[in-house]
């Protein structure tokens, strides 16, 4: 194997809490980085150490506001102009992913636009976890390492030793994700079929499958206002389930989400730390993806396969 370039890990201003843990598991300190702002709010990032010839990993989730995405793009440009050898963006939560197709006339496909912006800024590689839809990987013209939340969630679910475990998807679109969980846990699954009037507002929902006496775990990629998952939990409990829990990789948690979860019939909501929680919530259990990302960074540095990080290869 040939010689390796020096790896340097930097964090954007909004993901430092997670980046510190990733760097610690990797065995390095975070690189020196400063984000300055002009008085009008214009962003001006700079690296406080040389990145010339280095393999640079830039960690930043792109949750709102859009400044987080812009800061990441500017970081990539700064690294490129400072002669970095290879630039990998680590985006634990890839924002704008819900806008991945034209589901009605005259709308943007924001996920593709963000992919184009990352390409234009000079990104060589993307690492992320649980994209809203797996096919978004095809929007990028460079390699994408798409990690899976099952790696951290499945061992936790197994540790609960639930008597009559059943996996559920809160909507038909998440069926493949739920089926994945059901396969790894060797249990059955049910579906909730929802009809929306408009975004964040559900008109009706029904359960497809038998949940009588089951310990149900709802599986989704993100939780925004919590409306869908709380409604699904309520209906599943009404249909005779014993307990209902939920798993969501990305805790967007906007609007009244925290109150909705706290007042819901859910036993607990299990999330990861791809997005920081804005407040404490006794019903929310946070599992960290830091070690998973650190291992993936190590594999990329060593030009090794990351497939061993997926639960079906463990």
193 pLDDT exceeds 60?
yes
CB 140 within 8 A of CB 111: no
Quote the tokens at residue 273: 């730390």
186 pLDDT exceeds 80?
yes
Q: In what order do the strands lie in the sheet with 201-208?
A: 201-208, 189-198, 165-169, 215-223, 243-251, 269-272, 284-287
Instruction: Report the predicted TM-score, pTM, of the whole model to 2 decimal places.
Output: 0.93
Ranges of beta strands (E only) in the chain are: 7-11, 33-37, 43-47, 55-59, 86-91, 125-129, 144-147, 165-169, 189-198, 201-208, 215-223, 243-251, 269-272, 284-287
**Any idea which of 113-127, 181-195, 214-228 has the lowest mean pLDDT?**
181-195
101 pLDDT exceeds 70?
yes
Segment 161-186 mean pLDDT: 92
* Dihedral angle, C-alpha 145, 142, 117, 105, nearest 10 °: -80
Burial of residue 181 (number of CB atoms within 10 Å: 0-12, 13-18, 19+): buried
Please provide the CATH number assigned to the domain covering 7-147+290-313.
3.40.50.2020
* Tens digit of each residue's pLDDT (9 = 90 or more) over 47-70: 999 999 999 999 999 999 999 999
Domain ranges of the chain: 7-147+290-313, 150-287
* Tens digit of each residue's pLDDT (9 = 90 or more) over 273-282: 999 998 999 9
Per-residue pLDDT at 203: 59
Model confidence at 308, pLDDT cuts 50, 70, 90, reads confident
CB 237 within 8 A of CB 262: no
Active site residue 295: no
* Tens digit of each residue's pLDDT (9 = 90 or more) over 104-147: 899 999 999 999 999 999 999 999 999 999 899 999 999 999 99
The whole-chain average pLDDT of the chain stands at 93
Rounded CA gap, 9 and 235, in Å?
A: 45
3-state secondary structure of 172: helix
Please provide the CATH number assigned to the domain covering 150-287.
3.40.50.2020
H or E element: which one contains 187? none
Instruction: Give the angle subtended at the CA of 65 by the CAs of 282 and 73, to the nearest 5°.
Output: 120
Cα–Cα nearest to 90, from 36, 162, 157, 16: 16
Quote the tokens at residue 11: 């964090």
Judge whether 7-147+290-313 and 150-287 match in fold: yes
Quote the tokens at residue 88: 């990998």
Per-residue pLDDT at 2: 44
Percent of the chain at pLDDT exceeding 90: 85
269 pLDDT exceeds 80?
yes
Rounded CA gap, 307 and 290, in Å?
A: 17
Residue of 8, 194, 231, 295 marked active site: 194
């Amino acid at each position: 194997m040939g010689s390796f370039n020096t790896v340097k890990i930097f964090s954007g201003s909004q993901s430092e809490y997670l980046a510190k843990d990733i760097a610690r598991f990797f065995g390095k300190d975070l690189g020196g980085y400063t984000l300055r702002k002009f008085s009008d709010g214009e962003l001006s990032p700079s690296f406080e150490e040389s990145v010339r010839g280095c393999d640079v990993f830039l960690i930043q989730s792109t949750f709102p506001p859009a400044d987080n995405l812009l800061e990441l793009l500017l970081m990539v440009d700064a690294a490129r102009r400072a002669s970095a050898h290879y630039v990998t963006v680590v985006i634990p939560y890839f924002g704008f992913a819900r806008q991945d197709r034209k589901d009605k006339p005259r709308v943007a496909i924001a996920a593709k636009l963000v992919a184009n912006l990352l390409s234009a800024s000079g990104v060589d590689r993307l690492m992320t976890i649980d994209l809203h839809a797996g096919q978004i990987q095809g929007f990028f013209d460079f390699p994408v390492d798409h990690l899976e939340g099952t790696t951290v969630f499945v061992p936790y679910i197994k540790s609960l030793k639930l008597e009559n475990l059943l996996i559920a998807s809160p909507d038909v679109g998440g069926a493949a994700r739920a089926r994945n969980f059901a396969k790894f846990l060797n249990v059955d699954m049910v579906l909730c079929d929802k009809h929306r009037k408009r975004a964040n507002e559900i008109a009706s929902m029904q359960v497809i499958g038998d949940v009588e006496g089951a310990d149900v775990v709802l599986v989704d990629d993100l939780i925004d206002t919590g409306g869908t998952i709380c409604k699904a939990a309520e209906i599943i409990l009404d249909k005779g389930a014993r307990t209902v829990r939920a798993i969501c990789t990305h805790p967007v948690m906007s609007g009244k989400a925290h109150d909705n979860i706290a007042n819901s019939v859910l036993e607990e909501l299990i999330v990861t730390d791809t997005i920081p929680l804005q407040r404490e919530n006794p019903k929310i259990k946070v599992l960290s993806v830091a070690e998973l990302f650190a291992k993936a960074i190590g594999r990329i540095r060593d030009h090794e396969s990351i497939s061993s990080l997926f639960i079906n290869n463990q």
